[in-house]
Amino acid sequence: MKRLLLMLASAVALHAQAAITVTDDDGQTVTLQQPARRVVSLAPHVTEMLFSAGGGDRIVGTVKFSDYPPAARDIPRVGDNRLVDIERLLSLKPDLLVVWRHNASSRQMDQLRKLGIPLFYSEPHKLEDIPEAIMKLGQLMGTSQQAQQTASQLRTQIDTLTTRYRNRPPVRVFYQVWARPLYTLNERHIISDAIRVCGGDNIFAKLTLVAPSLSPEAVLQENPEVIVTGDRSDQTTSGVEFWKQYPSMLAVRRGNLFALDADLFNRSGPRIIAGAAQLCEKLDLARSRRGERQ
């Protein structure tokens, strides 16, 4: 009997040791008793992170626009990042949901949480948060070895950009999300951190809302040296063309209207670091134009 009790105690101890616990981007503790095998991604950038962490073959469901890497296009859809087909999601029998906190439906997420499905909220605010999140997702899926390798490579890329541009003269930047209606992003958004890493100054960093709407007059008053937006390859006209009707604006006068690859820059996943490298090059180009006659 004593031997049986010892065996049971050992089994309980091993089970406890096997539990995986991480903290998500909402500060919530996520605990799994074993690595996740059936993961549903509820945001395109999350899908990219899961693949980067070595768990692409564990994603059983995702949402609209989850198109990278190419293998993601074959994963069944359960809705988009605002509205999820709960019945379809449950039919996939997920043991982990990874959710974009910013756009997730609170009511639906509460419903899923009550059903006992573990949720990991993803909302990176800085470039350095991305490799950290990949490490955590690797832990949850039991793919830490690949996750660590990817995270190390991304940290090196971020460190290289930071070192290269930290002492460059500052550039006042307006980041345009949309032209009509006109939206920008404040300092809590990861794109603002990318601007900072490149030696830029987000002219609307201190606004209260993460994605505030603006009037063109507000931008004209700030007179940015650079205007940047993210454009998709299927767009026929760049969103920054709108500003050419204001030739007296510094950014227009110096030709500093830049459109970056939206697929790189508008998703808070691993590829935004490559997008940040593009941004840094554009801000350096703007610096080089300061001595040119206008």
Tens digit of pLDDT for each residue in 77-124? 999 867 889 999 999 999 999 998 665 567 788 888 888 899 999 999
Instruction: Decide if 17-152 and 169-291 have a common fold.
Output: yes
Higher pLDDT, residue 81 or 66:
66
**What is the edge-to-edge ordering of all strands in the sheet holding 96-100?**
59-61, 39-41, 96-100, 119-122
Could you report the per-residue pLDDT of 176-210, keeping only the tens digit for each? 998 889 999 999 999 999 999 999 999 999 999 99
Model pLDDT, residue 105: 66
What integer is the mean pLDDT of 53-64? 96
Q: Give residue limits of the domains in the chain.
A: 17-152, 169-291
Rounded alpha-carbon distances, angstroms, from residue 207 to 156, 184, 216, 222, 273: 31, 10, 16, 13, 24
Question: What is the pTM for the complete model shown?
Answer: 0.88
Instruction: Say which residues have a Cβ less than 8 Å from residue 154's Cβ, sequence separation at least 6.
Output: 130, 131, 134, 270, 273
In whole angstroms, what is the distance from residue 27 CA to residue 30 CA?
A: 9
What is the second-level CATH architecture of the domain 17-152? Answer: 3-Layer(aba) Sandwich (3.40)
Model pLDDT, residue 64: 92
Residue 7 clears pLDDT 50, i.e. is over it: no
Model pLDDT, residue 11: 45
Model pLDDT, residue 238: 67
Token pair recorded at residue 248: 């007296």
Q: Name the CATH superfamily for 169-291.
A: Nitrogenase molybdenum iron protein domain (3.40.50.1980)
Model pLDDT, residue 164: 97
What integer is the mean pLDDT of 224-242? 78
User: What rounded mean pLDDT belongs to the chain?
Assistant: 90
Model pLDDT, residue 126: 97
Percent of the chain predicted with pLDDT > 90: 77
Could you report the per-residue pLDDT of 138-150, keeping only the tens digit for each? 999 999 999 999 9
